[in-house]
Amino acid sequence: MSDSSIDEAATPRRSFAAHIFAPIKITWDQFIDLLVPFRHSTHIRRHAASVTISRVQLVAALFAVLVPVCSIVDWFVFPWPEWAQMTAMRLASSLVFLGLAWPWNMSKSRLQADGMLMAMLLVPPIFYLMSIRIISGLPLDPFSLLATKLYALMPNIVLAGLAIFPLTALEVLLFSTPAFAFAVIGYVMNGEALSLAQHGPELWLMVLVMGVAMFSGMSQLHYMAALVNRAMVDPLTGAYTRRSGGETLDLLFRLSALQNSPLSVAFFDLDKFKSINDTFGHDEGDRALKALAETLKAGLRKGDVLVRWGGEEFLAILNNTDAEGARIVIQRLRDAGLGMRPDGKPMTASVGVAERSADQAKDWPELIEAADQRMYQAKKTGRDRAVLPGGVTLVFGPPIA
């Protein structure tokens, strides 16, 4: 076969592989994020919690209706008083599901989502174990025997149910543990000696179901994280968008007020940005904005957040930082330089700083307003400077006309 024939044969294979694997290509860091939940951003955690709670409420609402309706089966296959006890258990389970489905006024945190999910997952296997105690010793006809075997599948149902939630591999593993434990306890309560030949296939099936749920949960989480990141990150600069930045600032402001800890914001406005667009074109203007954002992100600390507030305006959220700490951060950023303009001159910015306690801000919009006003003050008094709380002004260079 000639080299050209080999290339032609290899090209379709490469295209096919690219088509198959491209939708799930992820970086190593993203893969780690799908294994454990500890590295996710606040936005992704909150969104995942909201999705989990919504789906728990939907599933719980369905089961709150279906579980007691299935009492009809118990009435036909079990004698009195066993069917009455089964009905009582179903009603109790329905009340639990109803409580989970109720639209409580919640903040939808990750802890609340995990708690609700675990509570919902525990109901079926507990029902299964209690049904063993009720039915134990009864003479079973083919229909009642079928019903008991269906109840024994409840741990598998729990594992299969995990597939509809955006979870990491570790979370699926943790939520699956009670199902395996209850399945083994069920074997013991039925008087069965654990045997690899008898119970191995059933447990192996449960492992396979858990694996499918794990893959489904990780896929949902990856897709959701991609959508959230796309919505929260400005595609040009890589900074947070105004909406996601506002959500972050709202959360940090409430935490700061609750803990009485400092919180500062720094408003950056690129000086003479319009002249870059007018003289060199919008492509050069975009490059200037991107360079400014990269420089600011490199100079900020790990816990700080950079937001593109609009146009050439950027907001740095300095968590757990008072006015003096903000001054040090601004000075360090300016000393490092903010990048170069297309004409070779250094870029400069007018900066306004506000701090929650120093400005006695009642909410985060009021904090933004104080920083915005000081940014305009810096621009009016000569640009390339920063105005901080208390009238402190950092002048970095001579006034810019």
Residue 121 maps to a domain: yes
Kindly report, residue by residue over 265-274, the tens digit of the pLDDT.
999 999 999 9
pLDDT of residue 340: 86
Residue 14: inside a domain, yes or no? no
Q: What is the CA radius of gyration of the chain?
A: 30
Is the pLDDT score of 18 beyond 70? no
Look at residue 6 and tell me whether its pLDDT is greater than 50.
no
**Mean model confidence pLDDT for the chain:** 87
Domain total of the chain? 2
pLDDT digits over 179-198, tens only?
999 989 988 888 888 888 88
Please give the model's pTM, rounded to 2 decimal places.
Answer: 0.69
Same domain, 205 and 287: no
pLDDT tens digits, 217-259: 999 998 888 888 788 889 899 899 998 899 889 989 999 999 9
Q: Which domain range does residue 366 map to?
A: 242-395
When pLDDT is cut at 50, 70 and 90, the band that residue 398 belongs to is low
Q: Is 363 inside any structural domain?
A: yes
Query: Residue 313: which CATH number?
Result: 3.30.70.270
Q: Does one domain contain both 298 and 255?
A: yes
What pLDDT score was predicted for residue 25? 63
Among residues of the chain, what percentage have pLDDT more than 70? 92
Q: Are residues 184 and 264 in the same domain?
A: no
Of the candidates 232, 258, 283, which is a domain's last residue?
232
Clarify whether residues 29 and 48 are in a common domain. Answer: yes
Residues 94 and 175 in one domain: yes
Least confident of 6-15, 55-64, 84-93, 278-287: 6-15
Give yes or no: residues 307 and 200 share one domain: no
Two tokens, residue 90:
């179903």
Q: 185, 201, 232: which is the final residue of a domain?
A: 232
Among 42-51, 82-91, 205-214, the least confident range: 42-51
